[in-house]
A = this chain, B = another copy of it.
Amino acid sequence: MTSHFATRMNHVNDSFIREILKVTDQPEIISFAGGLPNPQLFPVEALAEAANRVIRDSGRQVLQYSTTEGYLPLREFISERYQRKEGLTVHPEDILIVNGSQQGIDLVSKVFLNRGDHVVIERPGYVGAIQAISLYEPEIHMVRLNENGIDLNNLKSILTRHPVKLMYAVPNFQNPSGITYTEETREALAALLTEYSVHLLEDNPYGDLRFMGTHALPVKNRLGDLGILMGSFSKTAVPGIRLGWVCAENTIMKKLKIVKQAADLHSNYLAQRILVEYLENNAFDDHINIINQAYKSQRDCMVSEMEAQFPDTVTFTRPEGGMFLWVTLGVHASSSALFERAIQKKVAFVPGQAFHLNGEGDRSLRLNYSNASVDQIREGISRLASAIEG
């Protein structure tokens, strides 16, 4: 039977993170492993009202089939916001509504990638992107991250040696590292990609979750048509409604609409209508500010506890936003070995190998701070410190 499966299935396994999340699901474990937004901050009442209103007032429309591109007022909201927040002039017809930006990665890969094509991903990189892209059987090159964002020399050396078609990157509060690309890095990255005519799939699920430092504009602003920008309502509104978007120029958008229609006709229309009803009747930026205040306290607590309790051999990033930070253990340390000890001490994280190919990255690990209270963070880091001590 197995021989019936497509060869692309040889390139992926059952998700490593899924397996880890099963282990860490026990209630007595303090988990920094997941990637969940804090549900205490969900605008539950406002969404209940919005749902009630759109179904009662317009049920025969909002429960019917709809258009592949997505509900126009939602695409207008997104394009106006790009203009206002990012200085990016795009129109509603440049926006495709998808089931979270995860679907955007799949659809863009489907439009661009033949088997054997060359793709660049960050190292460490977003697991969901590695999985989605791998299913199209490309050659994946991972480019190192550094404190300024991406290692440009490493990238240039890859671009010189391989005809790269597409690069996937998360320039703001990257998952898993928490790193944000500097202005200079963005500028130089755009120049390099333009020189080699490489499309950038710029994923920005965390961009609005900045709680310190200064806002940086998308790389797409310097890239023009080579830039494909994605966003998500999963971290700013709620993830359960699975709504995100892809922003791309017309030639690409036409192809994206074809593959979106073939994939599932259109994204959940009821969810789109509920979200627009919510956005029109609530101050979205105020809501995001509330999230950012909470995440800043959680992040500050985690950083200061780690500074106080971890040995000097352990280093870590200090993100200015987003949901994750990245820990590098001392030389010869193993995060998968640490994971076993940590689970015994009832604290969990994701070992770094999950964000690499070929088993690399075992000295590092990812911590999530968005879905734990300050008290849990204090106790959890203390447990982790004692696990690190051995």
Contacts and interface: CB of A to CB of B under 8 A. Distances in A.
Interface of A: 1-2, 4-9, 12-15, 18, 35-37, 39-40, 42, 44-45, 47-48, 51-52, 55-56, 59-66, 68, 98-100, 102-103, 106, 110-115, 117, 128, 131-132, 134-136, 165, 199, 225, 234, 238-242, 251, 254-255, 257-259, 261-271
A48 B44 contact: no
A240 B63 contact: yes
A242 B264 contact: yes
A258 B12 contact: yes
A112 B1 CA distance: 11
B263 A63 contact: no
Contact of A110 (B15, B135, B199, B266): B135
A12 B45 CA distance: 44
7 contacts: A4-B199, A9-B255, A13-B258, A36-B65, A39-B63, A66-B240, A102-B265
A42 B270 CA distance: 13
B59 A47 contact: yes
A64 B106 CA distance: 22
A233 to B, nearest CB: 11
Contacts of A257: 14
Contacts of A14: 254, 257-258
B36 A63 contact: no
Contact of A132 (B5, B36, B52, B262): B262
A294 to B, nearest CB: 14
How many copies of the shown chain assemble into the complex?
2
Given A6-B112, A15-B258, A259-B135, A60 B42 contact: yes
Contact of A59 (B44, B59, B199, B266): B44
A263 B107 CA distance: 8
A104 to B, nearest CB: 9
Given A6-B111, A112-B4, A268 B99 contact: yes
Which residue, A44, A61, A165, has most C-beta atoms of chain B within 10 A? A44
A7 B136 CA distance: 12
A117 to B, nearest CB: 8
Contact of A270 (B2, B110, B134, B240): B240
A251 B65 contact: no
A239 B65 contact: yes
A48 B56 contact: yes
Given A99-B268, A240-B269, A271-B270, A261 B15 contact: yes
A12 B263 CA distance: 13
A261 B16 CA distance: 12
A100 B265 contact: yes
Contact of A240 (B45, B65, B68, B199): B65
A312 to B, nearest CB: 36
Given A37-B64, A39-B64, 4 more contacts: A44-B56, A44-B63, A51-B55, A64-B238
B56 A39 contact: no
Nearest to A254: B14
A267 B239 contact: no
A270 B100 CA distance: 14
Contacts of A52: 48, 51-52
Contacts of A225: 1
Contacts of A4: 112, 165, 199
Contacts of A251: 1-2
Task: Report the 5 A-B pairs with minimum CB-CB distance, sorted nearest first.
Answer: A44-B59, A63-B238, A99-B264, A39-B60, A48-B55
A5 B114 CA distance: 8
Contacts of A258: 9, 12-15, 131
A258 B257 CA distance: 23
